[in-house]
Each structure stands twice: as C-alpha cells, then as structure tokens.
C-alpha cells in the first residue's frame, strides 16, 4: 500500500510517525488539524489499538474530532482537560526560529488556544514548509461576520505601516459562499509575500476590533519534526538547540494507509 503514496505523503507520514513517539501513556494530547495532523491521529490510533496506549485527545476542529473517534482515541474538551501535556500539529510555514504561519485549514483559532495550553508544542511537517522569512503563504486572520468589510479596511490601512511586501486581502470562500469556521466566523487571507517583523504584526492585528485571532504562532512551537519522502526525519528542538536525524521504514501492511481522504 505504501508504494501508492506520493513523496509528500510519505514525508508527512514519517514526520507523524516520529512525532507519535513523544506521546506517553496517560498523556492529554492536543490533536492538530490538516492532512499532516491526520497522519498523526492515525498513528496514535494504531498505538491505542495495538499497543494499549491510553491517552485523551483534545481536537482542534470538528473534523479532527471525528477522525480521532474513528481510530479509537478518547476525545475530551479542553475545559475537561484543563491543561495538556503535549500538542502535535502541522504548519503552513515555519522559519529558523520555529515561528509559524497556520490556518490554511481554517482552524488556527482553536489550534492556537490548544497549543498555548500545552507544556510542549511539536510541529510535524515536510521540508517544503521551511522558509527563510514568513509570508509566502497567505496569513489568515479570523474575523467576526459583523462589519467584516470594515475590519478588512482597517487591516488594509494598518498594513501600510507594517514591514510587509504585499497588502492584498481576500475573503476566504467555500464555493460561492464565505468560508465559515467552527466558531461561525469568516477568514481574511493576507497575501503579504514577506513579513519582516512577525511579532509586531501579530500584536497589531489582534488589537483591531473585529479580529478574533491571526495565524502567526510566535514563540509557541518547541520542536519541529521534518519528514522527507525517502523516510529520513529531522528533529529540531528550539529550547535545547539540538538537531537529531532518523530514518523510518514503510510497512506495506500498515493499516494507516487505508481511508486516506482528509
């Protein structure tokens, strides 16, 4: 079955498989959203089923919750967990300081809440997501529907004084209708091309009325696990400054390769 996977899916799989090793029995685990995080959920589900791993998962979206239950992970709310041992999630971009852009899947609000309520955040990704400077991937900001066009105008005006290369803003759509988040909000995608000062931009955007949260994750990620299509894995820890290299083999009979629709 693994021979049917594309190199990018293999990279996502080995990153998820390596990150799953950080999860220990009895942990409360934040479960991210997106295609790479879905691999992680499948890996943990396999460990629950085959190895007797006992964990409680806090999903960051409705679709992650559905998948977690399908693979046998006990799902609880963040209010029930109160605090998490670890959160494992993907990213749309990351830089050398492990600052991130997230929100391509529209779940960055819950993802940021869960990640900051954790002792440790691990990001699983492939090498294509690493950038020298954040901003090539559009930066999502979640805004309330009321007055969203006014909020957009305020953001456009503010970007004039920010260290960014582009200032195009688009309302995220789902077909002919605006995309709606799990909280019932809209998303504005900021096509900035380059963000010179992510910390400043994140603070300024979040001060605007109508803005709920932005997709910049600054000083939140502790470790990044980078997968490659040939099975190589690199683990970078920002706190210790260490870099580890590993290689994972693909198992032809692995049940994880079934039901890949995510």
Ranges of each domain in the chain: 2-130+219-257, 139-214
On whether 77 is known to bind a ligand per the annotation, the reply is no
Q: Which residue is it, tokens 């990620």?
A: 221
- Asked if residue 188 lies in contact with residue 143, where contact means CB atoms within 8 angstroms, the answer is yes
| 36 labeled binding residue | yes
Provide the residue-wise pLDDT of the chain in tens; the chain has 262 residues.
Answer: 345 788 999 999 999 999 999 999 999 999 999 999 999 999 999 999 999 999 999 999 999 999 999 999 999 999 999 999 999 999 999 999 999 999 999 999 999 999 999 999 999 999 999 999 999 999 999 999 999 999 999 999 999 999 999 999 999 999 999 999 999 999 999 999 999 999 999 999 999 999 999 999 999 999 999 999 999 999 999 999 999 999 988 664 455 555 444 3
Residue 129 counted as an annotated binding residue: yes
What is the three-class DSSP state of 213? strand
Element (H, E) at 10: helix 7-20
Q: Which residues of 214-252 are buried (b: 16+ CB within 10 A; e: fewer)?
A: bbbbbebbbbbbbbbbebebbbbeeeeeeeeeeebebee
pTM of the model: 0.93
Question: In 127-185, where do the E strands start and end?
Answer: 139-143, 168-171, 173-174, 177-178
105 is in an annotated binding site: yes
| Catalytic machinery residues | 111
139-214: which CATH topology?
Answer: Alpha-Beta Plaits (3.30.70)
Question: Both tokens of residue 175?
Answer: 């077909």
In this structure, CATH architecture of domain 2-130+219-257: 3-Layer(aba) Sandwich (3.40)
């Amino acid at each position: 079955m693994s021979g049917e996977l594309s190199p990018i899916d293999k990279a996502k799989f080995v990153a998820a498989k390596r990150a799953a090793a950080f999860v220990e029995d009895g942990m409360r685990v934040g479960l991210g959203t997106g295609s790479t995080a879905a691999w992680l959920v499948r890996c943990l589900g396999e460990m629950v089923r085959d190895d007797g791993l006992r964990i409680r998962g806090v999903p960051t979206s409705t679709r992650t919750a559905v998948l977690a239950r399908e693979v046998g992970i006990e799902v609880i709310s963040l209010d029930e967990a109160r605090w998490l041992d670890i959160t494992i999630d993907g990213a749309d971009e990351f830089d050398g300081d492990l600052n991130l852009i997230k929100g391509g899947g529209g779940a960055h609000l819950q993802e940021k809440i869960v990640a900051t309520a954790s002792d440790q955040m691990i990001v699983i990704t492939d090498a294509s997501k690493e950038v020298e400077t954040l901003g090539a991937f559009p930066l999502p900001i979640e805004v309330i529907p009321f007055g969203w066009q006014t909020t957009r105008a305020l953001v456009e005006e503010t970007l004039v004084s920010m260290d960014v290369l582009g200032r195009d803003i688009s309302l995220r759509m789902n077909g002919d209708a605006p995309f709606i988040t799990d909280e019932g909000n809209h998303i504005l995608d900021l096509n900035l091309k380059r963000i010179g000062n992510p910390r400043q931009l994140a603070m300024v955007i979040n001060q605007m009325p109508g803005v709920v949260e932005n997709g910049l994750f600054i000083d939140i990620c502790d470790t990044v696990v980078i997968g490659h299509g040939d099975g190589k894995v690199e683990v970078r820890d920002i706190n210790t400054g260490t870099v580890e290299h590993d290689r994972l083999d693909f198992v032809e009979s692995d049940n994880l390769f079934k039901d890949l629709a995510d």
